[in-house]
Amino acid sequence: MLAWPTFQFIKQSFPEATLYALVPEYTSPMAEVCPWIDGIIVDDAVEGISGLIETISKLKAANIDSVLNLHSTPRIALALFLAGIKHRFAPASRIDQVMYNHTLTQRRSRSEKPEYEYNLDLARYVASYYDVNYSYTLKPPLLQFADNEIQTIKKDFCASNGIDPGKKLVFVHAGTGGSAINLSIEQYAELITRLSKNDKLFFVLTAGPGEEDAARQLSAQTKGCNHVIYNSRKGIVEFSKTISIACVFISGSTGTLHIAGALDLQTVAFYPRRKSATSLRWQTLNSPARHLAFSATNTTDQGHYSIDLESTCNSILGMYFKHSD
């Protein structure tokens, strides 16, 4: 999702060009709904020579003139090189940079700017090579669905779950997919319990594939709060449409959070203490007034971290619900 500004920048800088996205299978549905992508090349990431040859064949068939690799790996670097693509752009930060003929030095681990800005720096590098001077400003939302479709989804969601349509829906995604240190189930339960003091709120506990147990555990610990579990079983695009009805989306620093940010939802995000994983570097794509970030004060031995939940709850209520009483 943090590559979406780059897709927009490249397409608007080179409006006559055909823009492909090279993506793994599981993210290809999101590439399909990106308005700046003209074609998709799926890298099945099959290990061994056969998988590499298949990806190279797909790249050759697309007749690509230039490629920008935002996050290079040795396998993809080799595929791009052997596909004979003339201009190959990438960060100059890995040993596989020798397979590119245009590189830009970046120090992403310093976390001096948002990740999407690092990506945009590479896109600007491509544009400057072709003497294109395009001024770009991020203008959320980058991901949008038709208003009437979202209104229908909200109406049906509330009706099927017995939710008063006048309630403010707060989506809470406790799963991590293993991508980042997150609040514990107990901490999420305490946060929901504290927020439930505002009786205008109704909580939706979301779960993607493999995250159902976390949602059930959270549900068991928040029995006194108005909530339902939403299991996302119809794919990532349908999940994106459903969370579009949220008033606020709460989660750790995961891909689901960045979908919510691209939708310009109001978000609450929890980040670990690592320098390479700061709230600045992994900042969401929503408007500045629509994202609220908290960082760990101290990481525990269990992989979760300590945080002042009373203060956190007051900050959330003060920023997003101060006029809802």
Which residues of the chain are in CATH 3.40.50.2000 domains? 4-129, 147-320
Residues 152-199 have pLDDT tens digits of: 999 999 999 999 999 999 999 998 755 567 899 999 999 999 999 999
For residue 110, the 8-state DSSP code is: G
Residues 6+ apart with CB under 8 A from 132: 13, 14
The predicted structure's pLDDT at residue 303: 54
Q: Which long-range contacts (CB under 8 A, 24 or more apart) does 161-169 make?
A: 161/228, 163/202, 163/228, 164/202, 167/200, 167/201, 167/202, 167/226, 168/200, 168/201, 168/202, 168/247, 168/248, 168/321, 168/324, 169/202, 169/203, 169/204, 169/245, 169/246, 169/247
List the alpha helices (DSSP H) in the chain: 4-13, 28-32, 49-61, 74-82, 115-129, 147-161, 185-195, 212-220, 236-243, 255-262, 309-320
Please choose, from the candidates 63, 127, 67, the residue with its C-alpha nearest in 3D space to the C-alpha of residue 99.
67
Q: Higher model confidence: residue 221 or residue 208? A: 221
Q: Which residue has the higher pLDDT, 60 or 324?
A: 60
Query: What is the distance of C-alpha 72 from the center of its chain?
Result: 19
What's the pLDDT score for residue 301? Answer: 45
Q: Are 26 and 140 in contact (CB under 8 A)?
A: no
Predicted confidence (pLDDT) at residue 23 exceeds the cutoff of 80: yes
Residue 302 pLDDT more than 70?
no
95 pLDDT band, cuts 50/70/90, is: confident
Give the model's confidence band at 50: pLDDT under 50 very low, under 70 low, under 90 confident, else very high. Answer: confident
Domain 4-129, what fold? Rossmann fold (3.40.50)
pLDDT (tens digit per residue) in 136-156: 999 999 999 999 999 999 999
pLDDT of residue 298: 63
At 106, the pLDDT band (50, 70, 90 cuts) reads: very high
Averaged pLDDT for residues 23-29: 93
Q: What's the mean pLDDT in 300-305?
A: 54
The pLDDT of residue 304: 55
pLDDT at 177: 57
Predicted confidence at residue 200, as pLDDT, reads: 96
- 260-301: per-residue pLDDT in tens? 999 999 999 999 877 888 899 999 999 999 999 998 876 554
Reply yes or no on whether the pLDDT at 45 is more than 80.
Answer: no
Count H helices and E strands in the chain, helices first: 11, 13
Whether the predicted pLDDT of 6 surpasses 90: yes
CATH node for 147-320: 3.40.50.2000
pTM over 0.85: yes
* 311 or 276, which is more confident: 311
